[in-house]
Amino acid sequence: MKAKKPPRANVTDKHYKAIQWCLKNNIRIYPRPLLSGGYNLIYEKDGYPRTSGKLYDREQLYQAIWDFWLFTYETLAEKKNKP
C-alpha cells in the first residue's frame, strides 16, 4: 500500500522570500506531532522554541507552515525596517 502524498500548498514568491529571510535571521518553523493526533507549529528564534498554540491536521499543516513563514517575515522584517 502506497503512502498518501501530502496535500499541495498554495505557495507564492512572497513565501519563498519569507523563508529565505527567516532562515537568514535564525528563525525556524517546524511541526511537532502530538500524541492526541494533529500537529502544533513550533517557532524557534535563536534556539528558543515557542509553540503557535494552534492544532492542525495533516490536510492543513503544509499550508499553515508556509503561511506562518510569511506571517513571521511580514511581522519581524517590518519591525527591523522601521526607524
- 13-23: per-residue pLDDT in tens? 999 999 999 99
Rounded Cα distance between 71 and 55, Å, is 17
pTM for this entry: 0.79
> 5 lies in a domain?
no
Number of domains in the chain: 1
21-77 per-position pLDDT tens digit: 999 999 999 999 999 889 999 999 988 999 978 999 988 898 999 999 999 999 988
Residue 2 lies in a domain: no
Nearest to 32 by CA among 63, 15, 54: 54
62 inside domain: yes
Q: Which three cell numbers stand for residue 9?
A: 500548498
Who contacts 49 (Cβ-Cβ below 8 Å, separation ≥6)? 42, 43
Q: Containing domain of residue 77, as a range?
A: 23-81
Q: Is 17 helix (H, G, I), strand (E, B) or coil?
A: helix
Question: Would 40 be classed as within a structural domain?
Answer: yes
